[in-house]
Chain A
Amino acid sequence: MPIVVNLDVMMARRKISLTELSEKLGLTLANVSILKTNKAKAVRFSTLDDICRVLDCQPGDILERVSEEEYKTLLG
């Protein structure tokens, strides 16, 4: 699935840690980690809305569509 979640870029810009983000989103650290490491199969609109609200960004800032090869490289 070649859609990647660039959470770490936005998190670095907003200077927010993973723990703080998970607390503000009301999600477990494990779930946010799943999202950050691109292991998630799906994201709810409600979750996307919460992420954009906390990080003050647009969905396009954290979601990016890449090619299959780039996706495989990213996942290692």
Chain B
Amino acid sequence: MKFRKQSLLMSAAGLLFLLFIIKRPTDTREKTPNVLIEAAYTNTGTVTDSNYVVYKKIHDSLEHRFDLKDKAVLFTAPLTYMPFGVVQTFEDNTDHKYDTRSWFLLKGVSIQSDSKVIIDKGNYYLQSPGTGRKNINGRLSFLEPGDKGLTLMIPVSTSSYKWIKAIMNVIFWVTMIVIICVSSFGLSRVLRNISEGKPFLPQNSKYLSWLGWTIIIVAVAYVLLPVLIRSIFLSNIPGEVSYPFWSWLYDLKWALLAGIVILGMAQAFKHGYQIQKEQDLTV
């Protein structure tokens, strides 16, 4: 009866996953970078493909290009990322003046389709029909080449940055140690037991279960982290800037599938152990 219940749960998980794949969430991030490019068109007059490539290559926001468009040399501002890319420091070395600023990052946001981005004297605004101009209270950037959507950069004080950095370091290292222990220790034990002709041991099922859940939890946590960040700064972020959670989860579908498959294998090994035990006690 217990196995029937577990196999029903696994079947339900598989069906839900299939539905998720078939009914792909609308990805609002895809066209979002265009709003930043349109802002560049407005401010610089023309943006050629080579200019856009320059933005992506220097991993910088459009603001730098505006400042340096008359200069022969473009400066690359070094960015320091913290684990999970949640915070960064940004050394702004325009005109050889070094200015370190700290930011909280919300990656992969999308902008409402009828909103425009306006960059005016270094301030970023959103203009939407009916609501007028709203200050974003931060910056928008591409940041990583190939990133979907845009990255919202929220300014934080140096002391806040240090606290967040310390917390994120702890979370990062704890997560890394758990992942390394579970995947290398657990998986190697399972493979060793199988190679020794002992596939149906209770610990094999346990290790596989740990591995499956670790993959699923890490994948979901990675997507939930920006939701948490957004909720902390909700009062500062205009409603037109949204975090498309389901699209991000869809991007991690193969990790989720791997987790579900491994959990299914863990159940199979558990069932196998029960059958093995009965077989061992059959004379």
Contact = CB atoms under 8 A, between A and B. Distances in A.
Interface in B260-283: 277-278, 281-283
Interface stretch (A11-19, A40-48, A68-76): A40-48
B281 A44 contact: no
Contacts of A40: 281-283
Nearest to A43: B283
A58 interface: no
A40 B277 CA distance: 10
Interface in A4-37: 27, 31-32, 34-35
B270 to A, nearest CB: 18
Interface string A49-76: 0000000000000000000000000000
Contacts, number: 23
Contacts of A42: 278, 281-283
A39 B282 contact: no
Interface of B: 277-278, 281-283
A34 B277 CA distance: 13
The 3 closest A-B pairs by CB, nearest first: A41-B281, A42-B282, A35-B283
A41 B282 CA distance: 6
A40 B282 CA distance: 6
A63 to B, nearest CB: 13
Nearest to A32: B283
A34 to B, nearest CB: 6
B25 to A, nearest CB: 50
Given A40-B281, A41-B277, A44-B283, 14 more contacts: A27-B283, A34-B281, A35-B283, A39-B281, A40-B282, A40-B283, A41-B281, A41-B282, A42-B278, A42-B281, A42-B282, A43-B283, A44-B282, A47-B283
Most buried by B among A31, A41, A43, A44: A41
A28 B13 CA distance: 45
B199 to A, nearest CB: 20
A33 to B, nearest CB: 10
Contacts of B281: 34, 39-42
Nearest to B277: A41
A35 B282 CA distance: 9
5 contacts: A34-B281, A35-B283, A40-B283, A42-B281, A43-B282
A43 B282 CA distance: 6
A40 B278 CA distance: 9
Contacts of B277: 41
A75 to B, nearest CB: 14
A63 B282 CA distance: 15
B272 to A, nearest CB: 16
Contacts of B282: 40-44
A34 B283 CA distance: 8
Contacts of B283: 27, 31-32, 34-35, 40, 42-44, 47
A36 to B, nearest CB: 10
